[in-house]
């Protein structure tokens, strides 16, 4: 998860495939759900198959906020 670029998302299935076994989607989802430091290890960037938002330790409204914040590069902050 740490390698998912800022402003990008990846599905559980694609993340499992990158790890070598597309059948391990449940294992990936379990690891994401147990992330002890969700901002440092950006588990909010992992989404469902069609980009749908799924569980997040900080709550779905916060997951949506973080994804939108990261994808909006026109904030003029930097």
pLDDT digits (tens, 9 = 90+) for 6-64: 999 999 999 999 999 988 999 999 999 999 998 899 999 999 999 999 989 889 999 99
Residue 54 in domain: yes
pLDDT at 74: 54
What domain range includes position 34?
A: 10-71
pLDDT at 1: 83
Contact present, 13 and 46 (Cβ < 8 Å): no
Residue 70 phi, psi (nearest 5): -70, -35
Catalytic residue among 28, 43, 46, 47: 43
Residue 62 in domain: yes
First to last CA, the chain: 24
Residue 61 phi, psi (nearest 5): -60, -40
Residue 51 in domain: yes
* Beta strands, E only, the chain: 10-11, 46-47
Active site residue 43: yes
Which tokens is 54 given? 């799924």
pLDDT at 75: 54
Residue 39 in domain: yes
pTM for the predicted model, two decimal places: 0.85
Residue 77 in domain: no
Q: Which CATH number goes with the domain that contains 47?
A: 1.10.10.10
């Amino acid at each position: 998860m740490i390698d998912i670029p800022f402003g990008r998302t990846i599905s559980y299935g694609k993340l499992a495939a990158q790890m070598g076994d597309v059948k391990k989607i449940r294992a990936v989802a379990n690891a994401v759900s147990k992330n002890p430091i969700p901002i440092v290890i950006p588990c909010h960037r992992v989404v469902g198959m069609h980009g749908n938002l799924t569980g997040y330790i900080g709550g779905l409204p916060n997951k949506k906020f973080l994804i939108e914040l990261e994808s909006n590069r026109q904030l003029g902050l930097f």
